[in-house]
Structure 1
Amino acid sequence: MLVSRNNKTSSAVAVIGLGRFGTAVAQSLLQMGHDVLAIDSDAKRVQMLSDELPHVLQADTTDPDTLKQLGLLDFRRIVVGIGSDVEASVLTVMGLSDLGIPQIWAKATHQTHGRILERVGAHHVVYPEERMGRRVARLVTGKMMDHIEFDEDFSIIKTKAPDRLVGGLLGIIDTMSKFGVAVIGVKPQDGPFRHITEDIVVQQNDILIVAGCNDACDAFAALD
């Protein structure tokens, strides 16, 4: 087995479903120093990933008895990355919930899928394709250089300083009352990122880090 039966106090994470999303999660967790048990129902995929993931198993996780045999009862955190097979995704989350897993993260391909996952026991539901689609749309159509959505209506963006702010003191400009966003960092063209202080003057081509609701961030990035 991957680690001792004291997994509930360890950093071990199980990842079920090794498509692009699940594989990326497993690889990132390994790079961060976590023990990872990776599981997929496809024997060929498991074989293909056996050189990249140190603990990878082939198993049908829709079977509650299999979940117990895999030792998943000992894990505090499990990520279900099954996306294309909605039935397998739901049955796996339901089985993990019945085991009393404290943190179940599950990938959903659409809103209905996500609502079902929540009802059968997922604690956190993520929509990677949907969020990436919204992120790309914002980057493609505006001046925004990067976008991170933290909630349904809160984001942090990276954008070029609008011309109307150039020459002003960031410590004096009240961007929250004027634009509904907070400027939390600035990167001059020839320097590193800095936290906001009262003496910073906005320069042409400065890059700003801005936080606020999605609509306000979109509108700020579109300012001339």
Structure 2
Amino acid sequence: MAEKKNRVDRDTAVVVIGLGRFGGSLAAELVVRGVEVLGVDSDSRNVQEFSGRLTHVVCADSTDPEALAQLGVAEFGRAVVGIGTDIESSILTTSILTDLGVPDIWAKAISRQHARILQRVGARHVVQPEADMGERVAHLVTGRMLDYVEVDEDYALVKTKAPGWAAGRTLGDLGIRTEYGVTVVAVKKPGARFTYATSQTVIGSGDTLLVAGETDQAERFSEET
């Protein structure tokens, strides 16, 4: 890569440690979105695969504090630990990033216990891709939801078809928030885009609703027909 390409503006760039399936996909997507990325992996094959695809890629042992210090990782504002099944390396790497003073650390966990440990050693955000996807698919398989995203503990956004009894009435008349404890935040007419919902929005047959609320209440509403 050209020397200019190898330079990283560390104030806005992200260091991604672990270029496996999760970390590599994330790093590549960040580049597509115009973010400069320093990729770090101990496996030379992964480094070779992403050479030329990321702003800069290096082969290094992320459990070695001196190695990360020499890479200038402490100057980055954000870091992602995408290490997969090697839990010890994941925890050690996160701990080292914390010691180096990286303020915003994201880390992948493979279990809830792993997630708790990562949080204790300094990860501000912990993601569990497999568990999160499993939970999401379970909700879609067992209900009428078209999509489901849990945005916080016990709070979700649900995309669902409008119940038949709502057709032809305004949201104000329906009183969905009072009856179900959820808020319809957007409505999508067939063939159109989502638009913000108001109390005067008339629900039509075949409309798609975006509903926000506590998870159990949002689920209950999505089951209405």
| Residue 3 (structure 1) shift | 2.4
Per the TM alignment, residue 163 of structure 1 is displaced from its structure 2 partner at its CA by: 1.5
Partner of 1:65: 66
Q: Which deviations, in whole Å up to 9, do the C-alpha atoms of 1:166-210 show, x marking residues without a partner? A: 222113322122111100111111432221133322111110010
Q: What's the offset of the Cα at 1:26?
A: 0.8
CA-to-aligned-CA distance 1:4-51 (integer Å, 9 cap, x gap): 5xx3xx211100011221112211211221110011111111112224
Where do 5+ consecutive residues of structure 1 fail to align? none
- Counterpart residue number, 2:7: 2
Letter in 2 for 1:2: R
CA contact (8 A) 2:106 2:124 kept: yes
Matched residue type, 1:128: P
The answer on whether the counterparts of 2:176 and 2:183 sit within 8 Å (CA) in structure 1 is yes
In structure 2, list runs of 5 or more residues that go unmatched.
1-5
Q: Tell me the residue number matched to 2:196.
A: 195
Counterpart-to-counterpart distance in 2, 1:60 and 1:16: 10
Counterpart CA distance in 2 for 1:191 and 1:99 is 49
In 2, Cα distance between the equivalents of 1:120 and 1:158? Answer: 36
**Equivalence map 1:32-51=2 (5 Å):** 32-51=33-52
May I ask how many residue pairs the two structures share in their alignment? 220
Cα separation, 1, equivalents of 2:198 and 2:45: 55
Q: What amino acid maps onto 2:149 in structure 1?
A: I
Structure 1 pair 159–30 and aligned structure 2 pair: CA distance change class (3 A): same
Q: Indicate how the Cα distance of structure 1 residues 190 and 199 shifts in structure 2: closer, same or farther if over 3 A, else same.
A: farther
Q: How does 1:90-169 map to 2 (within 5 A)?
A: 90-169=91-170
1:13·1:37 contact (CA, 8 Å) conserved in 2? yes
Calculate the aligned-residue CA RMSD, in Å: 1.4
> TM-score, normalised to structure 1's length?
0.93
- For 1:44 and 1:181, the matched residues in 2 are separated by 49
Distance 1:222 1:122 in 2: 37
* TM-score in terms of structure 2 length: 0.93
Contact 2:36 2:55 in 1 (8 A): no
Q: Which secondary structure state, in structure 1, belongs to the residue aligned with residue 83 of structure 2?
A: coil
Aligned-pair identity in percent equals 49
CA contact (8 A) 1:144 1:221 kept: yes
Query: Residue 165 of structure 2 aligns to which amino acid in structure 1?
Result: R
Give yes or no for the alignment of 1:219 onto 2:224: no
Could you tell me which amino acid in structure 2 is paired with residue 161 of structure 1?
A: A
For the pair 1:30 / 2:31, whether they are aligned, the reply is yes
- Please report how far the alpha carbon of residue 116 of structure 1 lies from its aligned counterpart in structure 2 after TM superposition: 0.9
